[in-house]
Structure formats: C-alpha cells, structure tokens
Amino acid sequence: MSSVLLHAIPELAIMLLKICAFLFYLTIYSEAANILYVIPFTTKSHYITLRPIGLELARRGHNVTVITAHKENEHPPNYHQVMVKATKIWEALGGKPPNVFSTVDLSAVKFHNNVIWPGGLALTEEALQTPAVQELLSSDAKFDLVISEQFFQEAFYGLAYKYNAPLALVTTFGNCMRHNFVTRNPLQLATVPSELLDVQEPTSFSGRLKNFYFTVYELFWWKFWYLEKQEHLMKKYIPGLREPIPSLYEIQKNTSLMLVNSHFSVDSPMPYLPNIVEIGGVHITKSNSSLPKDLQKYLDDADDGFVYVNFGSNVRSIELPEEKKQAFLKVFKRLKRTVVWKWEDDNLDQKPDNVIVRKWLPQKEILAHPNIRVFVSHGGLIGTQEALYNGVPIIGVPIYGDQYNNILALEEMGYGKLLQYNDITEERMYGIIAEVLNNESFTKTAKEVSRRFWDRPMNALDTAMYWIEYIIRNNGAPYMKSQAIELSWLSFSMLDVYIFIGFLVVSSIIFTIKVIKIINTVLCSRKTIDKKKKT
C-alpha cells in the first residue's frame, strides 16, 4: 500500500502543478487587455526609450499592437507590429539634412517654427496614411487602452475616441508644459523651465521672464494653430469617428495617465497630479551583452581609465567643422589616455594612437566598464540617464532641445561640466576634461547621484506597468483627474476671485476718499460761515 502511495505522490504533484499552471495562465488571459501602442516618431533615440513598455506589456500577457517605424525582431507572439516608413524629420521637411551642429544657434522659437511644427505635421500625416495603418483603422479591431507618445503627433490621440478607450501618454523627455496647462497641473514657471527652452539662469529675473515668454508663445500657437492642423489630419485619416467629434484639446484634457521620463532626484522637482507619474530611466536595464573582444581588451588595458565620446544617433561627429575637429584631436593627444570615440567614418585623418574610433559603439556596456572616467556627450536624455545608471561624470556639449537643461542641472549638482559648442577650443576643452579627470569630487558626486536615482520603491519599468494596468483595471480611473479641468483658465487661476476682491478694495478706497472729501467740504464750509459771523 505504501509503495503505491509513493508512486502516486509524484503523479499527483505533477497533476497539481499542471492545474496551477493552467489556472495561472487562465488568470492572465482573463485579465489581459487589447492595447494599442502608438510610437510612430522615427527618431531612433525615442524608440529606444519607449520600446521596453510595449514589450513588457506583451510579456505580461496583454495583446499589444504597436504602430512604429522600428521593427522588433525578437518579441512575444502577442506583440504585433504595424510598420510605418522610417522617414527622418529632415526628409519629411522636404530638404537636405542639415549639419546638425549648424542648429546650435537656433533659438527655441525658431527651432519650433523651422523644425518642430512643420516636421511634426509632416511625420504625422505620413504615418497616418501608411497603408498598414489604414488597414488597421478600417478593421473591426477593438482596444481597451490607447498609449501614445506625446511628441507633436496629437492626431493619434483621436484613436482613443475612435475605440472608446482610455488614453495614456508617455514622453521621451521630462515635464511637459503643454500637458500641465491642459490638465491644470501647476506650471511652476518660476523654477521649472520649459522642456525645449535653454535658460542659463532659470530662477533669475531674466530667466523667469524668458521662460514665461516662451511658455505663452508655445501654448498659444499650439492650442490655436497647431492642434487645429492636427485635428484636420485626425478627421481626414481616422475613419469611424462618432459625431460630434471632440477637439484634440478636449481629448488630451481627459487623458487618464501621463508617464514622464524624469525623476526628482536629478530633475527639477515639481508637484504632479496623481495621474502624472515619473518613470525616468525606463529603458535602462543591466545588459547581458559583452563588448567586442578587441574593444574589451583596449578598455581592460586602460589602467589610467578611458574617455568615452559619443554625440548620439542624430548628432554625428564627422559633421564637426574642421577647427572643432582639430581641437578634439589635439586635446585627445594631450590626454595620453585611451579615448573611445563614435566616429561615423572608416577613416579619421591625424588620429592619435590613443584614440579608438568606431562607427557604432555598444554604449550601455562601455558606460558599465569599471575603467571609464568621463563621458563626453551632447546631453541627450537617454545617454545622460545611462551615465546616471552607472555613476559616470559627464561633460556635455548641448546642441538643441532639452540637452542644455539636462547638462545644466548636472553641472549645478557637481556631477559634470557644461561646454558650449561655440566655446570649443583646444585649451578650453582640455581644461574642462582635465578638471573632471583629476578632481575626484566629480566621480564621488556621480556615484552618489546614481545611488539616489535608483533609490525607488520599484524600478521605472515596473512603475510604468503598475499604473498602466491600474487604469485598465479601473476603467481609466477618472477620479485621478483634477476637477479643475472643468474650469476655465480664469476660474482655475482664481483671477476672477482676485479681480472681484480687488474691485471691492478699490471701491472701498474710492468710497472712503469720497466720504472724507464730503466731510472735509462740510467742515470747511462751516468754518467759513463761522468766520463770516464773527466778522
């Protein structure tokens, strides 16, 4: 009898495990949602930031359909890709790609007028009219949630209205002034600069004035001009929209969730509504990849440490003007340390022996190498966060967009140094690199900032998953939105109350003055009468 039981126990255990596994997968299936993930913006760095969200949702059992310009070769079977053409923004504008370094002197206003506004419209229209996208929109597909990148392609927000689904937005940068304005989140103009505005001294009078001017400029043109253009594209290319079709402003106002790529430990802290959540560094995970053998040996043998130079995917080192390139080469030769430089050509004339060049470099693995001493970067948020992950000091040469603000914040906390592109000379650059290499305080601060950047209840990706699934479970969680979205800007800012109080105060003062004048007149007339009587 005992021997029979002994044989039966393993079989029962296996059967119980199978039943548990079946119930587990049944639970996942029953809770799985159909999610439309819209990330058609073609810049590679944007996709690097956003791709983990869609892949992780699929790994958790959700059925994910992604509109994207970048194909993912390895993914779960429930991850479906709708491909759009990977047109660069310069191509969409109809001209030849400029030397990106030439944009360094463009003001934020000119950058919007020349690049952001027209480029956003052109890329939105190209993505919407893609046959694969039109096929999806004409099908009988249904979605429980629409997640869209928040970067000047607002026409796609109309998909949330089409499918009667909650809308979640996600940024590749940090705080968004436009979204703050729409959802009535505090703007904090005195301490938080607009995300695409370079302000040297944000809290100074001139800095606050500049921030106020640009924010008003952007909000005005975005709300009363750009959104109308996007609404035209929405109505033209998205079929089946129920009448009356709400404005894109109203659709965004009712956003259920906003995920922002920032974190208060390194970015300007500000108050957020409960449905605006920080997920800074969402794309960063420990890499399982290894460096190429030759590069691994170079870095392992760099006993004095090495300098890593990479200006990202859009800013190409080979486009440096000759005098700037020579400054770099002379500095690297003087350093007498190993320098790893992303140089997008097979040849580099006058290359010093201590400089290693590659067209492409595995950045995560290089930044994780123990011998790295400093990262010379353009200040893009993705590379900056990858350096933060590993506690690597940064020397930033900002070119456009949020890069200046990213580096300025790090310089103010002693993490690195800011080098203006127009200030690049041999002596200036050598002095800054030598200072960061020889002053241990930069490395010490970098390690401390890195520690607090990752000191969180849960990592950035898990945070994003929790809140995305939260709004799915709670039907968009409308109770997380501010009640102020139903108020006009005049009412929300209390200007009507302040004006009323001011009116009462002024009226009281005027009334008091008039009463005093009347009393004074009466008293004066009595004095005059008394004098006449005496006379």
pLDDT beyond 70 at 7: no
What amino acid is encoded at 289 in this protein? S
Q: What is the pLDDT of residue 101?
A: 83
CA distance 517 to 514: 5
Q: Mind listing the pLDDT tens digit for each residue in 352-366?
A: 999 999 998 999 899
Beta-bridged to residue 80, according to DSSP, are: 65
CA distance 411 to 406: 9
CA distance 197 to 207: 10
pTM to 2 decimal places:
0.87
CATH architecture of 293-453: 3-Layer(aba) Sandwich (3.40)
pLDDT band at residue 5 using 50, 70 and 90 as cut-offs:
very low
Q: How many residues does the chain have?
A: 535
| DSSP class per residue in 23-76 | HHHHHHHHH--EEEEEE----HHHHHHHHHHHHHHHHTT-EEEEEESS--SS--
pLDDT band at residue 13 using 50, 70 and 90 as cut-offs:
low
Average pLDDT over residues 426-441: 94
pLDDT beyond 60 at 213: yes
Q: What is the pLDDT of residue 390?
A: 93
Q: What is the pLDDT of residue 30?
A: 43
Q: Mind listing the pLDDT tens digit for each residue in 82-136?
A: 999 988 888 888 877 777 887 888 888 988 898 899 999 999 999 999 999 999 9
pLDDT beyond 70 at 289: yes
Looking at mean pLDDT, say which of 44-48, 53-57, 405-409 comes out highest: 53-57
Please give the backbone phi and psi of residue 444, each rounded to the nearest 5 degrees, phi first: -60, -45
pLDDT band at residue 412 using 50, 70 and 90 as cut-offs:
very high
pLDDT beyond 90 at 531: no
CA distance 526 to 535: 14
3-class secondary structure, 146: strand
pLDDT beyond 50 at 145: yes
What is the distance, to the nearest Å, from the Cα of residue 414 to the centroid of all Cα atoms in its chain? 23
Tokens matching residue 428: 């200036």
- What CATH number does the domain located at 32-282+462-486 have? 3.40.50.2000
Q: What secondary structure letter does DSSP report for 78?
A: T
Q: Which residue has the higher pLDDT, 499 or 18?
A: 499
Q: What is the pLDDT of residue 449?
A: 94
Q: Which of 238, 149, 222 is nearest to 182 (CA)?
A: 222
Tokens matching residue 52: 């983990």
Residues 386, 315 contacting (CB under 8 angstroms): no
Tokens matching residue 10: 């393993």
3-class secondary structure, 4: helix
Average pLDDT over residues 393-409: 91
Q: Mind listing the pLDDT tens digit for each residue in 222-267?
A: 999 999 999 999 999 999 999 999 999 999 999 999 999 999 999 8
Domain ranges of the chain: 32-282+462-486, 293-453, 494-535
Q: What is the pLDDT of residue 228?
A: 96
Say which range, 343-352, 392-401, 430-439, 449-458, has the weakest mean pLDDT: 343-352
Q: What is the pLDDT of residue 313?
A: 79
Q: Mind listing the pLDDT tens digit for each residue in 148-196?
A: 999 999 999 999 999 999 999 999 988 889 999 999 998 888 888 888 8
Average pLDDT, the chain: 89
Say which range, 97-111, 263-277, 397-411, has the weakest mean pLDDT: 97-111
Sheet holding 145-149, edge to edge: 79-83, 63-68, 34-39, 145-149, 167-170, 257-260, 276-278
Average pLDDT over residues 491-505: 90
* Common-topology check for domains 32-282+462-486 and 293-453: yes
DSSP 3-state percent helix, strand, coil across the chain (nearest 5):
55, 10, 35
Q: What secondary structure letter does DSSP report for 97?
A: P
CA distance 327 to 175: 35
- Between the alpha carbon of residue 338 and those of residues 264, 298, 299, 305, 434, the distances in Å are 34, 8, 8, 7, 14
What is the distance, to the nearest Å, from the Cα of residue 264 to the centroid of all Cα atoms in its chain? 13
Q: Which residue has the higher pLDDT, 301 or 286?
A: 301
